[in-house]
Structure 1
Amino acid sequence: MSRLRRQHSANLSNNVEAKDLNELKSRTGNVYESISIIAKRANQINISLKEELHSKLEEFATHTDSLEEVHENKEQIEISRAYEKMPNPALLATQEFMEDKVYHRKNEDDLFR
């Protein structure tokens, strides 16, 4: 199990909760900038989880070109279900942002626009 998955799945529920916009705004000075940072982090989390899932499922892949019925492996199904039960990457990214675990900085080009 990956470090990211262990870190987040233990202490976060799958339920969406309302967040205080003033608290989001206080971290960057702008609500939209905070949401943009959270969205970018959610994409990073999603990509890493997707790569991890595909690498685990690749172990069970059969490379036959037969037209027979596809045989599903129980271990493969369990792995898929475990990933389905994980919290949404946006929830994980929001939690990280609220706990100041996300490093972000302004791009110098963006400062002068």
Structure 2
Amino acid sequence: MSKLGALKITLIIHGLFSFIAGLPMFIFPKMWSLILEWQPLNEPMVMTLGAVAVAIGISSFVAQMDPRVHVGICEMEIFLNTFLAMSFLYNLLRGLMPPISWLFFATFALFGLVFILLYPGK
């Protein structure tokens, strides 16, 4: 498989995952704040995270036509989600069970990192 083919597959997976994760958060913020164990976050914050995830999902599909569209979004996403993934590991090492929702963000960060590594323009 070529590097560009792997890039397109990564974009499809990343786009689907972001869109599927973000849409219910945007539509049903109260339910998702309870399900994802985000008690400190209020409903507008969960709605905002959902809207951002949906936007990232849409940009992933657009980026198949021109991958340059997605580079800045992925770099920002890696920065934010790596912080959450590190928080997950820190709490795990302290013996606390962190919210399972942080695994979603670790996965987002991983897909963003794969995209940056596969991006042909770098």
Higher helix share: 2
What is the TM-score when the length of structure 1 is the normalising length? Answer: 0.36
Q: Which one has a bigger Cα radius of gyration? A: 1
Q: RCO higher in 1 or 2 (8 Å CA, sep ≥ 6)?
A: 1
What is the TM-score when the length of structure 2 is the normalising length? Answer: 0.34
